[in-house]
Amino acid sequence: MKIIYHKIFEKQFKKLIDKDKYKIFKAIEIFVENPHNINLNNHKLHGSLDGKRVISAAPDLRLVFEEFDDYTLVIFLDLGKHNRVY
């Protein structure tokens, strides 16, 4: 799996407190091992984000991404609280 981080994702990541950054690292680590791990709640998005997917790093911390070729390439696009990324 190749992972690319969009500049919006990187910008939002820099704004996080260390505790939330750690949660993001752990979620991505789990994601690389198994993108469909039940703890990540990986699911499709609809509406204006149709075609994208999201995982949860914490109860109110989401990572929005696009996947290509059955998770051969993943581009993390955005992250943040539920009400910011949706």
Domain boundaries, the chain: 2-85
What is the dotted CATH code of the domain comprising 2-85? 3.30.2310.20
Task: Find, among 65, 53, 58, the residue nearest to 20 by Cα.
Answer: 58
- Residues 31-73 have pLDDT tens digits of 999 999 999 999 999 999 999 999 999 999 999 999 999 999 9
The rounded distance, in Å, linking the Cα atoms of 1 and 30 is 13
The phi and psi torsions of 79 (rounded to 5 degrees) equal -155, 160
Q: Please indicate, yes or no, whether the overall pTM of this predicted structure exceeds 0.75.
A: yes
